[in-house]
Amino acid sequence: MINEPSLAPREFGWIEVVCGGMFSGKTEELIRRAKRAHIAGQKVVVVKPALDKRYSENEVVSHNETALPSILVDTADQIVLLTGDARVVCIDEAQFFDDRVVDVANTLANDGKRVIVAGLDMDFKGQPFGPMPYLLAIAEYVTKLHAVCAESGTMAHYSQRVVEKEGQVLVGEYDAYEPRARHCFRPPVDRRRGRPIKPFMNPAVKETEEESTDETEEINSEHT
């Protein structure tokens, strides 16, 4: 069941986060909530990062081609300047913003606005994506959506990159990504170490393991 707060105006604002993997319906849900707020007579502003121009420069568009007018912004700080007297602020593809978007969302909510954020919670490596973990932590309402695994047909929350491209950010569609279930997800290979990258780990544990691996590799190289 989708966790959506009441549309009734409140004295105080709040933050809602809609997260999940590729093709799980995040933008579709953001559009649905924005339209309901508009029907309720509330002024709505929708923004998205300038990086995402897959379908349109002046609309947010879901994979099902549901669309809503939006404003392209280069930085998170621009969002505050664009909201004005809007009661509802929608931020799509939040993972592409820097960490400033967390402060922006807090500022807007503290100013009495309803902030609806949608974004990928994990990247193609199965690692937390950009500012999303922090947005999830400060949100009053969190909705996790799932796609259908392209291999098993079961519930999918991983995004499998199916093209050979480096870098965390690759804006793409079905030609670049597939939704995958846990048992079907294959992490990319760490080319430096020649083995698959482990999905999300506690940063402290990850750092310790990497240091241990580096020391082992150094010792092995000295004996060869």
In this structure, are residues 71 and 45 in contact, taking their beta carbons and an 8 Å threshold? yes
Distances (CA, A) of 61 to 52, 55, 64, 75: 10, 6, 8, 20
Distance between CA atoms of 14 and 125, rounded to whole angstroms?
31
CA angle 10, 144, 168 (to 5 degrees): 115
Other beta carbons within 10 Å of 144: 15
Token reading at 195 = 């083995």
Residue 172 burial class via C-beta count within 10 angstroms: exposed 0-12, middle 13-18, buried 19 and up: middle
Q: Does the annotation count 11 as an active-site position? A: no
**Chain CA centroid to CA 58, Å:** 20
In this structure, are residues 52 and 96 in contact, taking their beta carbons and an 8 Å threshold? yes
Catalytic residue chosen out of the listed positions 16, 28, 29, 93: 93
| Residues tagged active-site | 93
